[in-house]
Each structure stands twice: as C-alpha cells, then as structure tokens.
Amino acid sequence: LGNYPIYGSTGSIGYRIQPDYSGDKVLIARVGANAGTVNKVSGKYCVSDNTLIITYQSEIDINFSYYQLINFKLNKLTFGSGRPLVTGSQIRKLTLAFPKDKSEQTAIATVLSDTDALIEHLGKLIAKKKAIKQGAMQQLLTGKKRLPGFSGEWKEKKLKNIADFLKGRGLSKSKLLYDGNFSCILYGELFTTYSRIIKEIKSKNKIQNYNYLVLFF
C-alpha cells in the first residue's frame, strides 16, 4: 500500500510507497486489449512495464499533443492476434503537425478540454435523468403515484386477456435475397439496427413464395 498511483494500460492499477516519475506526461498502453489507448498523468506516480511514457520538449504543449495522439487512433497500429501490441518504435515514427506558436497549441487544447468537460457534465446529467425516469416509472406504472386529476381505481389483468400474441415466421437464409421490396425484420437486427420501438422497417428482401412480414430467428 502507498500514496502514489501505479498507471498501466487500463489506468490506475494500484499504489506504491515511492514514486518513480513526476510531472506531466502522456502514457500509451502498449500491450493487450487497450493497446494504443492514450492517457495523461501529472503529479508523482509509477508506471507499469506495459505502458509507454512520453516526455515532451518545452516548445510542445502536452495537452495539445495528447489530443493529437487520441485523434490519430493509435489502436490501428496494433499487431498480433494473441495479445495486440504497439511498440515505441512505431510511436517514434509518427509524423504530427504542430503550430510553431505554443500559445496556439494551448488555445486549441483548451477548447478541446472544455468540450470534454461539457460532455462529461452532460453524461452525468443524462444518467441522473435516467435514474429519475426509472424511479418515476416504478411509481407511475404501478399506481403508487398518481398524476394530478386522476383518482379512479386500478385493476389487474393477465396480459393474455388484453393483447394478442403472434410469433414471427421462420425463413431459411437460402430464401432471403437482399435486393427485394418486401419489408422484413431479422432477429439479429433487434436492438442493433432498431431501437426498442420500431417506427420504420429498414430491411428490404425479395422473399420467394411468401406474402407476409417475416421475423427471422
């Protein structure tokens, strides 16, 4: 146990009593599923051997270069089927453009940092709204809480007594020709191509000897 974080390919992975590094630096994960991931650290810390450390010359704004490396998408440099890898020699050979005026670098980095902060704030706000909605659903959909102007009784019924159920018809792949005019919702498209509520059917197929909507399982 200690007070100084150890940074690895997935971020902070533990603590040590004594730090190995200090100051602002950019870290790049070099091994594993996160190979190519870029992080920025400051203060005093340690770094695991599966992470590359970049220290910049004084004419470079570290925050500007940090965003440049993120934009470069370093994961596309990875190789190896077992454990993806990106090497220091690959990173050293990268060609990046910098404004000669460091103040311009700083100004650009500040704009991007402010945008990140706004996105993070909106993400937290959305998460909060979702939690509020979930709580409202639990109250409103069970009758525990009533909307203003409504006071009548609720009643319970089995779903089979208030709705009709249909099962999509099976269709082999050999009969699916993807250049037709018939609407078709495929099982694999649920929650991928379509959201929870399907307002428009996007898939079109030429279905031989069938005249109905097909749900393919």
Per-residue pLDDT of 2-51, as tens digits, reads 899 999 988 899 999 999 999 999 999 999 888 999 999 999 999 999 99
pLDDT at 145: 93
pLDDT digits (tens, 9 = 90+) for 153-170: 999 999 999 999 887 766
Share of the chain above pLDDT 90, in %: 62
Tokens of 152: 């009548």
pLDDT at 174 over 90: no
Tell me the whole-structure pTM to 2 decimals. 0.67
pLDDT digits (tens, 9 = 90+) for 66-123: 999 999 999 888 888 778 899 999 999 999 999 999 999 999 999 999 999 999 999 9
- pLDDT at residue number 199: 81
Rounded Cα distance, 108 and 66, in Å: 11
Stronger pLDDT, 177 or 6, i.e. the higher one: 6
Residue 217: per-residue pLDDT: 43
Among the listed residues 2, 11, 5, 6, the one whose alpha carbon sits nearest the alpha carbon of residue 37: 11
CA-CA-CA-CA dihedral for 23, 104, 37, 122, to nearest 10: 100
Confidence of residue 201 (pLDDT cuts 50, 70, 90): confident
| CATH 3.90.1200.10 is the classification of domain 4-97 | no
- Measured between its terminal Cα atoms, the distance across the chain in Å is 53
CA 94 to CA 38: how far, in whole Å? 14
Pairing of strands 214-216, 176-186: parallel
pLDDT in tens, 114-130: 999 999 999 999 999 99
Structure confidence at residue 5 (pLDDT): 93
Task: Using a pLDDT cut of 70, give the percent of the chain over it.
Answer: 88
In this prediction, residue 178 carries a pLDDT of 63
The whole-number pLDDT of residue 216 equals: 46
